[in-house]
Amino acid sequence: MSSRRRAPSRGRFLLAALACAALAGCALLHHEPEIPPFVEATFATKPFKSYTIPTPAPGTIPTESVIGAVGAYRVRQGDTFMDVARYFDLGFNEIVEANPGIDPWIPPVGTTLVLPTAWVLPCCTYEGLVLNIPEMRLYYYRRGPGGTTTVITHPVGLGRDDRRTPRGSFTVRGKTVNPTWIIPPSIRQEHITERGDARTSIPGGAEDNPLGKYRLELSISPYSIHGTDIPWGIGMLVSHGCARLYPEDIARLFPLVPVGTPGQFVYQPVKIGMRGGASWLEADEDIYRYRPPLAPRAVATLKKLGVAADGAHLRAAIGTSHGVPVKLKPG
């Protein structure tokens, strides 16, 4: 986990929480009592959601490009942020950022946690696989009936700062069940130095195979999208550059993605979209410190939407968002 992920101040968090409630269109929802204890069998059967947006013309932003709704969960005895994040399909980074000041390992029983389960879609490709690196989240778009597109989204774990997940376009060139991991020489040397492990490969199906059970092989070798043997690394910078998903998430995604599917690794710390005729902004941490000019890019996106933008207001919204969509003032 990158320790650089910053928690917003309490005042900023409260503003974001109010924005969450407005975005959800109703009061925040408490957890459902029937959720069973957080064990592997529970995660394997956790609920999944998909979303529908109008299919936009190429290079344009959909008229509805904010998906999901923010919810809430009341902490039970023995819960950790990792448990709650995994059940609600969030990365550890997302739930920590949305709930500053609360101990992620021993949260007080009865505390109500914000579930940041609403997202602005990255601009401006709405086909195939799109992974937005700063938010550590993958989106998969499939054409639906009547000019619609179905969106599935999952959190991911990405490359460490010294082995960054790259930006760029790709296609899915292959799919493997129980892939064998052929350990690259540089990583093998790292394993020898750190723990005396000189193996050159780890067979498919092995408990310590970091690829998990399913792998989507990409045209930008050696990178891939795959499962993991350490689910708690989702929402952290822990890999050697590949994208890791929760085991149950990759099991869901794997059969849906055909070979030849196009994709992109994009880097958008600030995203702007539309919902209900209003514009919304979501800002995430610049995890690799590329320092893109955030406000000017946000202004350019708003111009594509035909929406006037005030730079000062945009900068204030960027400072308030911290991974939660916030509504922008008109004009």
Tokens of 122: 């990255």
Which secondary structure element, helix H or strand E, spans residue 273, and what is its range? strand 270-275
Task: Please give the biggest Cα pair distance in the chain.
Answer: 61
Helix (H, G, I), strand (E, B) or coil at 51: strand
Residue 278 neighbours by CB under 8 Å, 6+ apart = 327, 328, 330
Residue 148 sits at φ, ψ, to 5 deg, of -115, 165
Q: Which of 31, 226, 240, 322 is catalytic?
A: 226
Q: What is 108-148 written as a DSSP string?
A: PTTPEEEE--EEEPPSS--SEEEEETTTTEEEEEEE-STTE
Residue 292 neighbours by CB under 8 Å, 6+ apart = 267, 269, 286
Distance of alpha carbon 256 from alpha carbon 276, whole angstroms: 30
Which amino acid is it at 177? V
Q: Which of 31, 154, 242, 322 is catalytic?
A: 242
Q: Mark whether 240 is an active-site residue.
A: no
Say if residue 327 is exposed, middle or buried (CB neighbours under 10 Å; 0-12, 13-18, 19+): middle
Residue 80's alpha-carbon distances to 45, 73, 157, 251, in angstroms, are 19, 12, 18, 24
User: Do 24 and 17 meet the contact criterion of CB atoms below 8 Å apart?
Assistant: no
Partnered with residue 175 across adjacent β-strands are: 216
Q: Mark whether 20 is an active-site residue.
A: no
Residue numbers annotated as active site: 226, 242
